[in-house]
Amino acid sequence: MRTVTILGATGSVGTSTLDLVERAPGEFRIKALTANCDVERLAAAAIRTRAERAVVADASCLPALRDALAGSGISCDGGPDAVVDAAAGADWTMAAIVGCAGLASVVAAIESGGTVVIANKEPLVSAGELILATAARSGARLLPADSEHNAIYQCFDFARPERVRRILLTGSGGPFRDWPLDRMADVTREQAIAHPNWSMGAKISVDSATMMNKGLELIEAARLFPVAHERIEIIVHRQSVIHSMVEYVDGSTLAQLGPSDMRVPIAHTLAWPDRLESPMAPLDLVAVGRLDFEAPDPVRFPALRLAREALEAGGARPAILNAANEVAVAAFLDRRIAFLEIAAIVADTLGSYDPDAPDSLADVLNVDIEARRIAEARIKAGRVTIGV
């Protein structure tokens, strides 16, 4: 029986992962489940799955977790270090914490070997080279859960990467793909988190609406696949049926298709290299009817350009981009800034901070902290330049 740990078990990806694991009784044993502070959901999942251990990152939530698990025999713990400790040692680990808060735990999981499934893209953006070096040292296998990267993984010929002409990274374009710029100025929190095709956590939903998610995915793809970043192109595909494509030098383009349900890519990583029976209704292409493709609009979605520039420049730029974006998205979700200010804050932060390239995880964390401080100060001062 394979041991499984789910970091971020109470979130959207964590819940989809649990759903698949629970449909295969006798195949997996849950070693650890973690959350930030959603004690009710964490304790219920731990009891249901007979997990060995449940951990909350926010230590102030530990007493409530202890009460909820009293008499269950499940050990519980609290605090960021406890999450890192729980991250190590499973055969299969899902990294599904949101944001760079997941960096230390994903590194701990990779250091301990086994299969580590990456949903949590932000650490890969900020510290990609260091994470890949850690995996190379430990022998851990990294599998992508992000539907686009999982699609590319299924189509990519790792034995002949030089035969790949382009990676075509598809994205739905988010809820505002047809909105004029002046209307986007008044976007509300509720409108931004209502994604047309996917049901996801709040942060990635806002990232999809600004298309920063596609920008982060561009950097993620450049980390995961051995192709030059100029060969990775973003295409808007509003139906979210094709999850990405790989084009080869002979003119063949391979695509992976599936329903817009994260359980499809997660099932692939759970069974890899095998396949498991999944609960989703098969894709009905006749009902889908048509597949549309268009180029993204760089004027209404400046996050795409910011992300590509950060990728090209390398060094600390991706970590600054990500940290400023996390701060700006949190401020938008708190209704402290307007929608169009998100990309503007990222651009302002990138424009005012240019540290040396980090060469350790501690360096990355220092860049992350300083970029957050600068972005937060801009928001507090109300000094944001729209029109990046």
CB of 192 to ligand NDP, least distance (A): 14
Which CB atom, from 148 or from 247, has the smaller least distance to ligand NDP?
A: 148
Which CB atom, from 196 or from 201, has the smaller least distance to ligand NDP?
A: 201
CB of 94 to ligand NDP, least distance (A): 9
Which CB atom, from 121 or from 214, has the smaller least distance to ligand NDP?
A: 121
Binding site for ligand NDP (CB under 6 A): 8-14, 35-38, 57, 83, 96-98, 101, 119-122, 146, 198, 200-204, 262
CB of 206 to ligand NDP, least distance (A): 11
| Residues forming a β-bridge with 294 | 236
CB of 238 to ligand NDP, least distance (A): 17
CB of 252 to ligand NDP, least distance (A): 27
Which CB atom, from 52 or from 146, has the smaller least distance to ligand NDP?
A: 146
Please give the Cα distance from 225 to 221 (Å, whole number): 6
Q: How far is CA 226 from CA 166, 229, 260, 306, 347, in A?
A: 11, 9, 26, 22, 28
Which CB atom, from 102 or from 302, has the smaller least distance to ligand NDP?
A: 102
- Count CB-CB contacts under 10 A for residue 157: 12
Note the Cα 372 to chain centre separation in Å. Answer: 19
- Residue 232, φ and ψ in degrees, nearest 5: -105, 120
State both tokens at 352: 């005012």
Tell me the residue ranges of DSSP E strands in 96-241.
115-118, 141-144, 164-171, 232-236
Which CB atom, from 121 or from 317, has the smaller least distance to ligand NDP?
A: 121
The percent helix, strand, coil of the chain (3-state, each to 5) is: 50, 15, 35
CB of 12 to ligand NDP, least distance (A): 4
Tell me the residue ranges of DSSP E strands in 61-140.
75-78, 92-95, 115-118
CB of 388 to ligand NDP, least distance (A): 22
Which CB atom, from 106 or from 384, has the smaller least distance to ligand NDP?
A: 106
Which CB atom, from 248 or from 272, has the smaller least distance to ligand NDP?
A: 272
Nearest residue to ligand NDP, using CB? Answer: 11
User: Does residue 95 come out as left (phi exceeding 0), alpha (psi in the -120 to 50 range) or beta?
Assistant: beta
CB of 338 to ligand NDP, least distance (A): 22
Angle at CA 239, nearest 5°, toward 233 and 245?
35
Print burial letters for 110-134: b (CB count within 10 Å at least 16), e (below 16). Answer: bebbbbbbbbbbbbbbbbbebbeeb
Which CB atom, from 11 or from 128, has the smaller least distance to ligand NDP?
A: 11
CB of 105 to ligand NDP, least distance (A): 7
Rg (alpha carbons) of the chain, rounded to whole number = 20
DSSP 90: -
